[in-house]
């Protein structure tokens, strides 16, 4: 197997892996999404207006961040933007863990 064939096989494997990751990520999100409004109202005691505000804010932020991350990825390249996002995620996770 020459280098080109090995690279093609690795690419196919990466695509399959990312497909499964996207599938299970979407599945888990679809499973929790219908339960969240009930959790907000019954467990946390939030009003329906507050739940609507939370859900609307999440959707708006996700839409805006897709545009922003696309622009950053186009300017910096895929690897640099992926590494930068990973570093930022690690920093924020650490900060939130320390606060609790």
Q: According to the model, what pLDDT value does residue 23 have? A: 92
Residue linked to tokens 């939370």: 54
**Structure confidence by residue, pLDDT tens digits, 60-72:** 998 998 898 888 8
- pTM, two decimal places: 0.56
Token pair, residue 46, equals 């939030």
Using the Cα atoms of residue 31, residue 37, residue 41 and residue 46 in order, give the sign of their dihedral.
positive
| Angle at CA of residue 94, ends 89 and 100, nearest 5° | 130
> Cα separations (Å) of 72 from 12, 58, 77, 85, 87?
26, 21, 8, 10, 15
**Structure confidence by residue, pLDDT tens digits, 20-72:** 988 998 898 889 888 989 999 999 999 999 999 998 998 899 899 889 888 88
Residue linked to tokens 């005691």: 45
């Amino acid at each position: 197997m020459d280098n080109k064939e090995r690279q093609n096989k690795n690419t196919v494997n990466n695509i399959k892996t990312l497909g499964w990751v996207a599938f299970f990520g979407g599945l888990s999100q679809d499973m929790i999404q219908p339960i969240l409004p009930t959790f907000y109202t019954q467990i946390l005691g939030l009003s329906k207006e507050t739940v609507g505000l939370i859900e609307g804010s999440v959707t708006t932020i996700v839409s805006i961040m897709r545009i922003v991350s696309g622009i950053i990825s186009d300017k910096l390249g895929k690897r640099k933007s992926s590494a930068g996002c990973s570093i930022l995620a690690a920093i924020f996770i650490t900060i939130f863990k320390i606060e609790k």
